Amino acid sequence: MPRQPDAAGHFGPYGGRYVAETLMPALLELEEVYRRSRRDITFQRELRTLLQDYVGRPTPLTFAKRLTERWGGARVYLKREDLNHTGAHKINNTIGQALLARRMKKERLIAETGAGQHGVATATVAALFGLECEVFMGSDDIARQEPNVFRMRLLGATVREVHSGTRTLKDAMNEALRDWISHVASTFYVIGTVAGPHPYPMLVRDFQSVIGREVKKQIVQHEKRLPDYLIACVGGGSNAMGLFAPFLNESSVRMIGVEAGGLGDGQNAASISGGHIGVLHGSKSYVLQDENGQIRDTYSLAPGLDYPGVGPELSYLHDEYRVQYVTVKDADAVEAMRLLAETEGIIPALESAHAIAYASTFVPRLRRDEIVVLNLSGRGDKDLQAVARFLGAVH
């Protein structure tokens, strides 16, 4: 079992509930409903059925034969979250939260989104359950993720364009929180990552842990043992925690989180590698901030990583030396996207490509009898225009 936060929602010094007093009753109610649901056989059966029959789980664990040969080191497996309905891991969590919203008799879902995948996943489950849906998205992200914006609207959601701040994920989350404060009685806020006030980091991790639980079974079927390394990209961190959590007590398994190095020279979104402890969006964690504690502008070509904070449990795991964190720049992620497409016929999301890019430098140094699992958190359809523009600018 993964570590549980304390009664106030802390993993070590991180986490907690730093929110407006108006939201405290809603958070306490959500925590109680979630704790009951976690023990409820009916709830868990419905969740498993939807994940199987609607989402398409379990997703395959694919041996990357040509990539393994290209790198010449450890054996490489890809956890194929890109094959989920909606094209990413995000729906694992939105299905679970929509079931909680229905139990709480909420009529409206709201969400924030950067890459658009969480917005699409929220709009999808809102349509499935017949709920109203509004998605907050920064205007810069809307411009670079046009296909996902259209998908959300086609699914019946209202997309609220956010023009404040850096016009990206941080600002979308700010606006979603403001909306929730104003409509807390009727609205359920579907947070898309393992950040935000307690109990969100805990419940999002638990819903996403299906990834790691499946990997644990699948890798034993393939290799008769556990992997040596797990590698996942880290923005807020939901796909990483989903992979890592079921392995935290397996001391032989080493874990690597890959943050967005952006363009370098301060233009990045590497909260753990370059941040300091602070409070953002209702919880204490590593945050990118200036000497006065003001949140720094961030940048990554991958919009799902373009966020100045990270989940509190991932911060705790950094301090405990249980997870190692590294950074990858935009250009290397784009090259990794092309590499996976050419070797395995799979076009990954830019977010996932960060994990592949780091693996391309790390895996060749490993022994051939070692095993690496890369979490392929989403597919790259949404990023093709942005990558084409980037390559055009570069070349």
Q: Which tens digits make up the pLDDT trace of 4-17?
A: 999 999 999 999 99
Q: Is 122 part of any domain?
A: yes
Amino acid identity of residue 28, one-letter, is: L
Residues in the chain: 395
pLDDT of 89 reads: 98
Residues 377, 88 contacting (CB under 8 angstroms): yes
Mean pLDDT of 267-287: 97
The pLDDT, as a whole number, for residue 145 is 85
Q: Last residue of a domain, which of 169, 204, 239?
A: 204
pLDDT for 14? 98
At residue 329, φ and ψ (nearest 5 deg) are -85, 165
- For residue 266, what pLDDT is reported? 87
pLDDT score at 394:
57
Total count of domains within the chain: 2
Instruction: Kindly name the residue from 37, 79, 81, 90 that is annotated as catalytic.
Output: 90
Confidence band for 395, pLDDT divided at 50, 70 and 90: low
Amino acid 115: pLDDT: 80
* pLDDT level of residue 1 (50, 70, 90 thresholds): low
Contacts with 219 (C-beta within 8 Å, 6 or more apart), sequence order = 61, 77, 225, 226, 227, 371, 373
pTM of the model: 0.96
Whether 239 maps to a domain, the answer reads yes
Confirm whether 324 is domain-assigned: yes
Amino acid 393: pLDDT: 66
Q: What percent of the chain has pLDDT over 90?
A: 92
Backbone phi and psi for residue 238, each to the nearest 5 degrees, phi listed first = -70, -40
Largest CA distance in the chain: 56
Mean pLDDT of all residues in 249-277: 96
Residue 274 sits in the same domain as residue 332:
yes
Q: Structure tokens of 74?
A: 């450890």
> Using an 8 Å Cβ cutoff, are 78 and 346 in contact?
yes
What's the CA gap between 291 and 273, in Å, rounded?
A: 16
Same domain, 313 and 215: yes
Specify which residues 229 forms β-bridges with: 254, 372
The pLDDT value given to residue 168: 87
235 or 393, which is more confident: 235
Q: Is 335 found in the same domain as 263? A: yes
Q: Are 98 and 125 in contact (CB under 8 A)?
A: yes
CATH of residue 188's domain is: 3.40.50.1100
What is the span of the domain harbouring residue 337? 58-87+209-394
pLDDT at 3: 79
Average pLDDT over residues 316-330: 98
171 contacts: CB under 8 Å, gap ≥ 6: 138, 162, 164, 165
Please report whether residue 42 resides in a domain: yes
> Does 118 lie in the same domain as 25?
yes
Both 166 and 236 in a single domain?
A: no
* Arithmetic mean of pLDDT over the chain: 96
**125 and 258 together in one domain:** no
Catalytic residue among 31, 81, 112, 313: 112
- What is the pLDDT confidence band of residue 25, given thresholds at 50, 70 and 90? very high
In a domain, 181, yes or no: yes
At 169 the pLDDT is 86
Residue 31: phi and psi, rounded to 5, are -60, -45
Alpha carbon 129 to its chain centroid, in Å, reads: 23
Whole-number pLDDT of residue 308: 95
Percent of the chain with pLDDT over 70: 99
pLDDT in tens, 51-87: 999 999 999 999 999 999 999 999 999 999 999 999 9
Among residues 160, 188, 204, the one where a domain terminates is 204
- Lowest pLDDT segment from 23-37, 198-212, 289-303: 289-303
User: Quick check: is 1 in a domain?
Assistant: no
Does residue 38 belong to any structural domain of this protein?
yes
Q: Which of 209, 300, 360, 377 is catalytic?
A: 377
Residue 13 lies in a domain: no
- Among 204, 236, 252, the domain boundary falls at 204
User: Distance of CA 159 to CAs 153, 291, 302, Å?
Assistant: 7, 35, 20
- Do residues 328 and 369 both lie within one domain? yes
Same domain for 94 and 80?
no
Of the candidates 229, 205, 227, the one whose C-alpha atom is nearest the C-alpha of residue 216 is 227
Q: In which residue are the tokens 């409070």 written?
A: 279
Whether 329 contacts 301, CB under 8 Å = no
Same domain, 184 and 220: no
Same-domain pairing of 200 and 213: no
CB 76 within 8 A of CB 64: yes
Query: Looking at the structure, do residues 124 and 271 belong to the same domain, yes or no?
Result: no
Q: How confident is the model at residue 316 (pLDDT cuts 50, 70, 90)?
A: very high
Give tens-digit pLDDT for 120-173: 999 999 999 999 999 999 999 998 888 899 999 999 999 999 998 888 888 999
Q: In 3-state terms, what secondary structure has residue 111?
A: strand
Q: Confirm whether 112 is a catalytic residue.
A: yes
- Distance CA(206)–CA(296), nearest Å, equals 30
- Verify that 255 and 323 share a domain, yes or no: yes
- Determine the pLDDT at residue 310: 98
